[in-house]
Amino acid sequence: MTYESRWEAVIGLELHVQLNTAAKIFSSAPVGVGFAPNQAASIVDLAFPGTLPVLNQEVLVKAIRFGLAITADIASQCRFDRKSYFYPDLPKGYQITQLNEPIVGRGTLNVQLDDGSIKPVDITRAHLEEDAGKSVHDRYPGQTAIDLNRAGTPLLEIVTEPQLHSPEEAAACFRQLHTLVTWLGICDGNLNEGSMRCDANVSVRLKGNSKLGERTEIKNINSFRFVQKALQFEIQRQIAALERGDTLIQETRLYDVARDETRPMREKEFSDDYRYFPDPDLLPVSISEDLIHQIRETMPELPAVRRERYVADLLLDDSTAARLTRNRETSDYFERTIDRCPNPKLAANWIVGVVSAALNKDILSIEQAPVNPDELGEILLQVDNGSITQTAARQVFQSLWSNGGSVEEALASQKRTHNADDSHLRTIVQSILDSHPKQLEQLKGGRKKIAGFFVGQIMKETGGSADPRRVNEILSDLLLDEDP
């Protein structure tokens, strides 16, 4: 569409991140999936009369970890509020959340865009709240089934400023937050299970216009790709409407994955009046400097810091550094590899190349890699000190990957094969020398350039598999033999 260039999209995200605590935010019921229906719902989660919420201290720790990671202000006191609405999977008829006094204040997230550049995005706030249960609509005819296992799972809702301007940027921001929360170990990052759900607020305006347009909110998107696609559709829809001269209304929409479109959610009358007020069952929570200090001490090196260090100190290129720091597991794998083999470039290239190809082929995550980073480091150390060739190293790696065993054995076995190969190679070299007596004379006569001819012939004979350095070595060995 030709008019698109006149318009600019303005996007803000709200991410609901399930914190991976063992117990729920306000009860001692276990958190997780895989329980039979309502088998992980306690009397508190079921909102039985007389039950009361008691805050799980670990959710504070996890929220503060996130806050420190985005260099945000951590509130010295935060508070919980009730947000009232009726829904079958909301047992109390209100959700406990944080309205005016969130635990994490303003911070900044450095988002790496697809072209490798960094875009700082302001995080407005992040607050704690409880998840609702699940409604199952398609299981029983005419009935909706309610499973409250998820009710009370701790959520950290992260709100960004409307500073994203394309579906790609929004997806990159979502991805960056995914990297960060899994890196920090506060969320399992399992998008298929709904561990991170994204709401996107989007409006469009004519470029150069500072006033925001009427915005819509797309609810509950659970993948990077769908965020991008939902926003692509919605931005097109808004632009088309405005180009037609229609007015947009502020509304909530759902993204229909099957049809690749957004459509308005039906909302009950008055349902936007949530009647927030401080939850009288929960006193304000004080967060001591001491606690923040303790948590700061246990913070891991963050992905952005590592990425910069990889470029500045280890002299990796931007895109390799970015790929290595996309998740903590890959980065930690790299770190352990270079503990063993102090050649970062070699290790990095192997991990983004050989290792990642092998993982893709077998559909494994890096924690499941059959070759651990110590083993990889050992193999690469042999390459780095010239004991084996890259080709040989690949063979060792492949053998370890497929057959297991120890690195030492694999290296030894490679050497045996290598030696066997050596004698095979000698035979080839000898036969080529024998079949080109004229050129051999010239070589013996001191015409060093003719050596290239032999090497070429040998390489041709071996289909390029021979190590040229080794070929040269054998060649001079044999010449010495022939010329006592």
Nearest to 237 by CA among 221, 220, 268, 213: 213
* Residue with Cβ nearer other proteins (268 or 449): 268
Figure out which of the listed residues 34, 115, 120, 137 binds other proteins, where binding follows CB under 8 A.
137
Nearest distance from C-beta of residue 227 to other proteins, angstroms: 20
- 3-class secondary structure, 384: helix
Residue 93 in the binding site for other proteins (CB under 8 A): yes
Residue 23 in the binding site for other proteins (CB under 8 A): yes
Contact 184, 69 (CB under 8 A): yes
Q: In this chain, which stretch among 44-52, 189-197, 456-464, 472-480 interacts with other proteins, using CB under 8 A?
A: 44-52
**Tokens found for residue 468:** 């040229």
The number of C-alpha atoms within 13 Å of 245 and in the hemisphere containing its C-beta is 0
Contact 159, 123 (CB under 8 A): yes
Residue 76 in the binding site for other proteins (CB under 8 A): no
Residue 404 in the binding site for other proteins (CB under 8 A): no
Residue 259 in the binding site for other proteins (CB under 8 A): no
Nearest distance from C-beta of residue 25 to other proteins, angstroms: 10
Interface map 262-301 toward other proteins (x if CB under 8 A): ---xx-xxx--x-xxxxxxxxxxxx---------------
Angle between the N-to-C axes of helices 450-461 and 437-444, in degrees from 0 to 180, rounded to the nearest 10: 140
Q: In this chain, which stretch among 39-47, 193-201, 229-237, 394-402 interacts with other proteins, using CB under 8 A?
A: 39-47
Please report which helix (H) or strand (E) contains residue 321, including its range. helix 318-324
Edge-to-edge order in the sheet of strand 216-221? 107-112, 118-130, 154-160, 7-18, 196-206, 216-221, 251-256, 261-264
* Residue with Cβ nearer other proteins (278 or 370): 278
Q: How far is residue 28's CA from residue 16's CA, in Å, rounded to a whole number?
A: 21
Residue 153 in the binding site for other proteins (CB under 8 A): no
* Residue with Cβ nearer other proteins (144 or 391): 144
Q: How many residues bind other proteins (CB under 8 A)?
A: 67
Amino acid occupying residue 292: I
Angle between the N-to-C axes of helices 303-312 and 167-183, in degrees from 0 to 180, rounded to the nearest 10: 100
Binding-site ranges for other proteins (CB under 8 A):
21-23, 28-31, 36-43, 46-58, 60, 82, 84, 86, 88, 91-94, 135-137, 139-140, 142-148, 265-266, 268-270, 273, 275-286
